[in-house]
Chain A
């Protein structure tokens, strides 16, 4: 332990967690009611959900403001900085495991469930009795019960998006290097470019979704190919959105003169998060689109 007898800052009471707990409660109740009300006239769920999201946004602003103020007033030690870094790393690891569940579903459906329905392994009779005309191919463009769809090609929008996201990781790295060398102008510029690339990615993804729904007949409900496609790209898109907001907050903090070459945990965390989102996209591109 190199931090001998260092004083560790333990914050006093805080109202943010309980506000966050109420926010999460409203989100859960609201979202739960919303989906059960999908086929009815009622709309109360949507309002509760919106209220919950508003409370959470308020909580995040307040909580982060408190932390930033504490950090700026020098209450934090090196040891505290390590706590934050380790906490963020483990959070990203948990996010990785969340995606692992969906990648697992994709691979299981593709390598096991679909071939078995087509009679592979010792399932000849399954195939014969259940859906004798079913053909096991991937992407699954015709499900056993006859829903048809088209496969999304990897060329075109997905390829552009891959290049955009890869480029954004590089520009963010340049921003980080500029921060460490105290080149504030370069930092601002590279960070701004990264954010624009992120927004560009999201824009193209929306285009892709519209194209899929309106022209290709590829929807969330079009069998296990559509399921895995939309849940994987959808959750990834949500993470890009969050990451972009994260970078935007960092951008405004940079403009206010926050962060020094020695002390910039939030920037580091934002950049880790962005690189993580980028790596997930690479896996997506390979397993969902190309292969």
Chain B
């Protein structure tokens, strides 16, 4: 990325005519706010609460799987835990965390006064807690909450689903509305609100990756809305979209769902690429290697994401030529992803590296996400997938890309930008403890799952054959340790908000970008007049 310099003075806290005088006080500040930083903070806290909630459900799952046999929860409740754990982590933790980062950072990175549509921004956040209140409350209803897996395959979600399925459907509708509005706001902000001189190929990669993510969101969230609507009418209004007796097809559900679902997977990883592309150069004290190839690689991944959905359904019945098509397209994604990994490594090559917590998480991301990428490549091979399908190998694969991928990048981002958000440095020692506890435990948790899966242990079951007992015990211990480690992160964040060493406007020597030109903590209104970017 080319260098950004700036004429304007460092602090942009000059107030403008229209009724802005810093942050209002009290609870209503957060309810009524139109400020991108407030809304970003709300998103980030909401996602962290959801992360702990979904994590608690994972603890239930690992506790039940600690030993073979049924001991703690009954199988129907176990199914509800796996389902709601997935839904919460995808729609409640990872996606809102990225939206929160986008809200906080994109206006500062492009030199805009705020998001383009600030009131709608508030709306897209505040409907989310309501959506999850509905989803979680359905767990306490008669017959229980959703128990059909986060992918809600028909007929599990239609013929055999609990009475509360309608609440699941409408809560997903609201989550979709929230994501679409958030994404529209991001696209419009990036396209329309860049400071003069901030040309396309000067955009920080976090902005680029989010622009492409937002496009994916606008394209596929409506398809998810259509899918849940068909589930609703199949269950309650006598339609037979997913019922062969009426001329429909349950396989059609999977096609429509995964047409949404695969781009969704990239929605949860592309912003990570942007984060890592900001952090690695900062701590290597070198510009990012291959900036433009990063942009093109991101765009290629996004385009390919629309052509690979059926690799999730190799075993559910497709003509052979379709299986081959989806296999080759899927493997093709390894090329742009490889470009990215090599570029990060090349950025570090002969850099003057230091390993503060954000950099530790970023390096761990590169290594562990790549492991997840390789297991994905294995799963892409159709004949091999016949063996792996629906085993713990798949669980290991997507937790490597989502936990050590998406979640680790979010952690890295939090550590990297916390000084900018709070004005204080976080506790580096505690941060490093958090990193090492997380990284060791997450590998104890997920790496042995590969072996379980290869040995044939199926996913989504509360009980298993006796030969899987030892490895499951190790996995569960890793799980509990990883869960507890995240409380360290909570402690770091609270400690950092309450005080600590004052952060400079640019606390990292190698950091680049407009957000480091304004004071720490960032003033309530930054860039009320756009800076000139050269």
Contacts and interface: CB of A to CB of B under 8 A. Distances in A.
Q: Report, as a range, how many residues of chain A touch the other chain.
A: 35 or more
Contact of A17 (B20, B123, B220, B227): B123
Interface stretch (A22-30, A170-178, A192-200, A245-253): A22-30
B330 to A, nearest CB: 20
A10 B241 contact: no
Nearest to B232: A35
Interface stretch (A153-161, A183-191, A209-217, A218-226): A218-226
A20 interface: yes
Contact of B218 (A9, A11, A31, A94): A94
A18 interface: yes
Interface residues of B, number: 86
Contacts of B166: 31-33, 35-36
A91 B222 CA distance: 10
B248 A13 contact: no
B259 A104 contact: yes
B437 interface: no
B133 to A, nearest CB: 8
B240 A224 contact: yes
A5 interface: yes
Contact of A90 (B18, B130, B188): B188
**Secondary structure type dominating chain B contacts:** helix
A227 interface: yes
A147 B20 CA distance: 65
Contacts of B18: 9-10, 12, 75
Given A5-B196, A13-B32, A97-B222, A32 B134 contact: yes
A116 B249 contact: yes
Given A10-B34, A32-B166, A101 B222 contact: yes
B429 interface: no
Most buried by B among A35, A75, A84, A221: A35
Interface in B235-249: 236-241, 244-249
A71 interface: no
A21 B529 contact: no
Contacts of B249: 108-109, 112-113, 116
A265 interface: no
B379 interface: no
Contact of A113 (B20, B116, B119, B248): B248
Interface in A49-92: 63, 75, 79, 82-84, 86-87, 90-91
A11 B167 contact: no
A109 B248 CA distance: 6
B180 A145 contact: no
A143 B233 contact: no
Contacts of B114: 8, 10
A4 interface: yes
Interface string B212-238: 000000111111011101101100111
Contact of B130 (A24, A35, A144): A24
B197 interface: yes
A125 interface: no
A242 interface: no
B396 interface: no
A15 interface: yes
A95 B218 CA distance: 9
19 contacts: A1-B198, A8-B113, A12-B19, A12-B20, A18-B32, A18-B122, A21-B123, A29-B167, A31-B170, A32-B134, A90-B184, A91-B184, A94-B218, A96-B222, A108-B256, A109-B247, A140-B247, A223-B246, A227-B239
Given A84-B117, A94-B180, A122-B319, 4 more contacts: A9-B18, A25-B133, A36-B164, A113-B248
